[in-house]
Amino acid sequence: MMRMHTLYHRLTLFSFSSPLSLLPLAPPLHLTLRRRTTANFSSMSTSRLRHIAPLAAISTEDGTGGASNGSVSSSSTADASNDYEDDSVLGVGYRVPPPEIRDIVDAPPVPALSFSPFRDKIIFLKRRSLPPLTELARPEEKLAGLRIDGHCNSRSRMSFYTGLGIHQILPDGTFGPEVEIHGLPEGAKINFVTWSPDARHLSFSIRVNEEDNNTSKLSVWIADVETGKARPLFQSPDVYLNAVFDNYVWVDNSTLLVCTIPSTRGPPPKKPLVPGGPKIQSNEQRNIIQVRTFQDLLKDEYDEDLFDYYATSQLVLASLDGTTKDFGPPAIYTSLDPSPDEKYIMIDSMHRPYSFTVPCGRFPKKVELWTADGKFVRELCDLPLAEDIPITSNSVRKGMRSINWRADKPSTLYWVETQDGGDAKVEVSPRDIIYSQPAEPLEGEQPVILHKLDLRYGGISWCDDSLALVYESWYKTRRVKTWVVSPGSEDVPPRILFDRSSEDVYSDPGSPMSRRTQAGTYIIAKIKKEGDDGRYVLLNGSGATPEGNVPFLDLFDINTGNKERIWESDKEKYFETVVALMSDQEEGDLQLDRLKILTSKESKTENTQYNFVSWPDKKIVQVTNFPHPYPQLASLQKEMIRYQRKDGVQLTATLYLPPGYNPSTDGPLPCLVWSYPGEFKSKDAASQVRGSPNEFAGIGSTSALLWLAKRFAILSGPTIPIIGEGEQEANDSYVEQLVASAEAAVEEVIRRGVAHPKKIAVGGHSYGAFMTANLLAHAPHLFSCGIARSGAYNRTLTPFGFQNEDRTLWEATNTYVEMSPFMSANKIKKPILLIHGEEDNNSGTLTMQSDRFFTALKGHGALCRLVILPYESHGYSARESIMHVLWETGRWLHKYCVSNTADAGEDQDIGTVKENISKGVTDAESKVVAASGGGSKEACDLEHEQSHSLPRSSL
């Protein structure tokens, strides 16, 4: 599958602030690709962008928050290094891990980067590390699937930047002196940083004292890029940003359209002491409405009023000279999208009737066109409430969707409409039709059919009237297709460029690189080769091979399919990727001999740095010089290993060993296996290698790699493929395949002599926690203990699908029951540590899942421990919480893995270990072997019951 297709869907959920800010802004809710603010990032591997970071607030739920570093009160904490065995302190406040782990987590983060639209300047966005728990403890409203900070009138738990520094990029690729953005209030927390189209100004929001209802609200500021002088955009100090949905967008070089809190808004509605009546939901029409276990939904009329209160904005046109003008009526505006020619603005809004069943993304949605000066043009669509979207993969909303501006035209719209009623189970041809129409069509002018698709629409890369690439896919078969179309020539039929399996990473040809136009949009970059009339584009690929990824850049003739490799990553020591084009300032085709790109470069032990590479001699200039974030682990050992499952499936994992470790002299180590299962349609695809052995070992705040500092071996990401070939459903043999994969991994680390057979722990987060509990239930012979964070354990509580399973509980009852470790709580005899955020809002992983699982375990006398983290969501953010999670994890590993002395004194050779593993094979596990051609008739019959799967957005 071309990565362009994959990333298209991700990009449609986020707004981007500049061509090279590269990572999503928060809140992640925009439904269209935005002009001026969105580059084509299909050519980038997101794992490479750890320093080129978001320019806006990121919900700290993902654990990457950039808020100020918190401190843990000395009255409620103690050093963990010496008290793992002291049970008297187990319930005493927040704890901290030993210093060798704490120091890594507390290391200051490097700045984020953003390049200007013309690639001549770069911003260093300064940030702090983990936020204190007090920030998470701020009150928040849980409404329609959102969490809103009422004081700020924004999404809650936003991270922020603490300062901005701008450097000129000199002709030789080096930086000029820093111009610091100044004039900001003391303690300013900066979000939503955006370049103006002409790169002369920056816009951003500021909040200051979050304890004060007014100053905690966000105000919009402007900074002059040359001088660094910052000032408020609005002359009145009482105009505040409404950042619940979209916030603001540059309409032209000197004007912004801003979502503001209506000036006439009074205090929030008060909850009535006595309800006006019972809470009633009805389905007397007998509609079929199946939804996943969404959280934070509206509950009553008061919640509906509160949602209206916080989400309603007044749009204001604000010029840099201080003039302002109200734009349209107050409404819940969710997206603002100017046309490339700056004449129109496409505006999305939502309205009543709301739903108590689904989040706001499915509320009634209206899309309108307005002129850039605030005159209504026409309504494009008004979509009804979409409660009834089927849970089947590739099912979509009815009506117009994915409405966008053509990037290569001044003001031409395109969109797609389903022909199957949005239900993927309906067989129809075509399934989707792509339409196009001018912003203001002539009277009687009908939309033009651009292309018809038999799979589900997946996006378009525009170039010009002679070239566009259209993507379609079908999850159930993993098929993806790329079409070449000529939008301006009806007599030129579309043709298939690529038709392949999304799982076959070895055949991935790469994604087309994009260039910026003068209008600020991004189109496919056409390359001109001297003395050659071919029509060339650049394909940026991950270069998956059996030895690991070797990223590349190919010069691809779109007419003939011929390709020439013009750049490739170092294969021996480094892992390099192409991040973006840097030579697209001029209109027309780009000259190959004047090509300039931005690349990232890293190794196992060297932090990611960024370089300019310039043709024709491919001169390299290093742009950054970030220090090693944890020098104490700079010499860690990393190896990508391969081994085989009993049914012949080739598996991979990354093995990390502590600095200076030598298995021949130091002997086997305690080992932590940390993983997350994945679903596949074929054994061949599941066997392919993904990732690179030369990637830098990035260590997050709750990463398993932290335990390298405590002399653990870490088996990171061993592949746990759950395969359902043909008509078989992967999850119908989930347990058998899970156990077989885990046994192969454990056998391999023991065979290598790096892991002690009696001191191997297993852990995972979310679906990895589900995996962990299942392994302790069904493969107790493999692991000494387990750590399960933020998991779901009873699938009957997620009856309308979970993870990639889109059959309902009633369609696949046995699968739901057999996959649920809750149903096997009586089988879990090894120690298990459960950790969960008290405010988990992820679909499926309600905190109740861990509560009830712990109760079931305790009811059977299992050795277990449950840790509920106040204020934390699905991921953990606050420093106090993260430090405590690490302390709990360290204690668990120390007590039940490192100190596991059961049979530890017995020397076991690999033959004995294999025999023990073989004895531990469950009856169910033999079915995974039967599925590959052997086994009993009874085992094979069970395979016929297998059936189906969906994207991993819901756990």
Q: Which residues are catalytic?
A: 766, 840, 874
Q: How far apart are CA 704 and CA 675, in angstroms?
A: 10
* Residue 372, helix vs strand vs coil: coil
Nearest to 69 by CA among 159, 134, 130, 158: 130
Q: In what order do the strands lie in the sheet with 121-126?
A: 112-115, 121-126, 163-168, 179-180
Nearest to 204 by CA among 160, 252, 235, 237: 160
Please state, in angstroms and rounded to a whole number, the distance separating the CA atoms of residues 684 and 507: 12
Match 């989400």 to its residue by tokens: 311
Beta-carbon contacts of 585 under 8 Å, excluding residues fewer than 6 positions away, are: 118, 119, 516
Q: How many residues does the chain have?
A: 955
Nearest Cα neighbor of 305 from 277, 334, 333, 265 is: 265
Rounded to an integer, what distance in angstroms lies between the CA atom of residue 588 and that of residue 526?
Answer: 8
DSSP 672: E
Give burial (CB, 10 Å; 0-12/13-18/19+) of 172. exposed
Strands 669-674 and 755-765: what pairing? parallel
Give Cα 829 to chain centroid, integer Å. Answer: 35
**Helix, coil or strand: residue 827:** helix
User: How far is 309 from 262, CA to CA, in rounded Å?
Assistant: 10
Distance set, CA 143 to CA 147, 162, 403, 735 (Å)? 6, 29, 26, 37
C-alpha closest to that of 333 among 355, 346, 349: 349
Q: CA 320, 325, 326, 327 torsion: positive or negative?
A: negative
Contact yes or no for 713/749 (Cβ under 8 A): yes
CA 265, 368, 357, 475 torsion: positive or negative?
negative
Quote the CA–CA distance of 510 and 550 in Å, as a whole number. Answer: 12
Other CB atoms within 10 Å distance of the CB of residue 611: 18
Residue 420 carries which side chain, given as an amino acid letter? D
What counts of helices (H) and strands (E) characterise the chain?
A: 14, 48
526 within 8 A of 463, measured Cβ to Cβ:
yes
Spell out the long-range contacts of 25-28 with Cβ–Cβ below 8 A and sequence spacing 24 or more: 25/54, 25/55, 25/56, 25/57, 25/58, 25/192, 26/54, 26/56, 26/57, 26/58, 26/59, 26/155, 26/158, 26/159, 27/57, 27/59, 27/146, 27/154, 27/155, 27/243, 27/244, 27/245, 28/59
What are the structure tokens assigned to 520, written together?
């600020």
Query: How big, in percent rounded to 5, are the helix, strand and coil portions of the chain?
Result: 20, 30, 50
CA dihedral 158, 159, 161, 162 (to 10 degrees): 100
Distance CA 922, CA 735 (A): 10
CA dist 880 and 401 (Å) reads 43
Q: Which residues contact 86 (CB under 8 A, 6 or more apart)?
A: none
Cα separation, 717 vs 698, in Å, equals 13
